[in-house]
């Protein structure tokens, strides 16, 4: 076991515990003349089609608008609003007119973190105070060391009144 694992069907992009062996598709659905935008901050922009591990010539901010000139493999040739022409990885682009898709869940998947209100699954979420205060007895989110101490009186300690008998020393067996 000193070499890399090259078989087995493990896909790190699938949800944990799923047995779905499908592979994600990377085909682009962009067409020439379509307006797209950067889907994330630091979207890579290359003046020439990159080869290998080339560094980006420019980093675009999320939402930067651009026009598709052509698509090839995993890169899209685009024209920025400033007139610059270059290449952007297709996975870093989104269609601003595309409808948001609901997440696809496979049979056997479970909602782990808080369920949506009204889903009747798990415990209900606590009632939110309109004043923004945490529920009674909650741990404060910010602890101020300069805040005055709590004014609750210390509990009264009463000495025990019961008397306990002294322990009996162990009896050693007599040797005969």
DSSP codes joined into one string, 83-107: S-EEEEEGGGEE-TTSPPPPPP--T
pLDDT score, position 26:
46
Cβ(13)–Cβ(24) under 8 Å?
A: yes
Q: Which pLDDT tens digit goes with each residue over 46-74?
A: 999 988 888 999 999 999 999 999 998 88
Model pTM greater than 0.85?
no
- The vertex-135 CA angle with 133 and 140, nearest 5°, equals 70
- Kindly list the domain boundaries of the chain, sorted by start residue: 35-90
Q: Which pLDDT tens digit goes with each residue over 67-91?
A: 999 998 889 999 999 999 999 999 9
Domain boundaries 35-90, corresponding CATH code: 2.30.30.40
Output the CA–CA distances (angstroms, integers) from residue 28 to 49, 56, 74, 92, 120, in the order listed: 17, 21, 8, 11, 39
Whole-angstrom distance, CA of residue 143 vs CA of residue 125: 24
In sequence order, what DSSP letters do the residues of 110-156 get, joined into one string?
Answer: ---S-PPTTS--SSPPPPPPTT-PPPTTPPPSS--TTSPPP-PPPPP
Other beta carbons less than 10 A from residue 38's beta carbon: 23
Mean pLDDT, range 158-169, rounded to an integer: 76
Min mean pLDDT across 12-21, 87-96, 146-155 is at 12-21
Q: Write phi, then psi, for 174 (nearest 5 degrees).
A: -80, 140
Q: Which residues contact 32 (CB under 8 A, 6 or more apart)?
A: 68, 69, 70, 71
């Amino acid at each position: 076991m000193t070499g890399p694992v090259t078989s087995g069907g493990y896909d790190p992009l699938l949800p944990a515990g799923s047995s779905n062996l499908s592979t994600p598709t990377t085909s682009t659905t962009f067409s020439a003349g379509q307006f797209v935008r950067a889907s994330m901050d630091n979207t890579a922009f290359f003046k020439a089609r990159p080869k290998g591990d080339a560094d980006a010539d420019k980093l675009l901010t999320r939402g930067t608008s651009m026009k598709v000139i052509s698509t090839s493999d995993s890169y899209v040739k685009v024209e920025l609003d400033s007139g610059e022409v270059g290449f952007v990885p297709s996975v870093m682009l989104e269609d601003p007119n595309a409808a948001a898709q609901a997440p696809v869940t496979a049979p056997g998947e479970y909602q782990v973190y808080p369920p949506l209100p009204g889903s009747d699954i798990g415990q209900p979420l606590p009632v939110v105070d309109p004043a923004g205060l945490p529920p009674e007895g909650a741990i404060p989110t910010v602890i101020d060391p300069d805040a005055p101490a709590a004014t609750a009186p210390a509990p009264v300690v009463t000495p025990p009144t019961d008397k306990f008998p002294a322990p009996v020393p162990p009896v050693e067996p007599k040797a005969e």
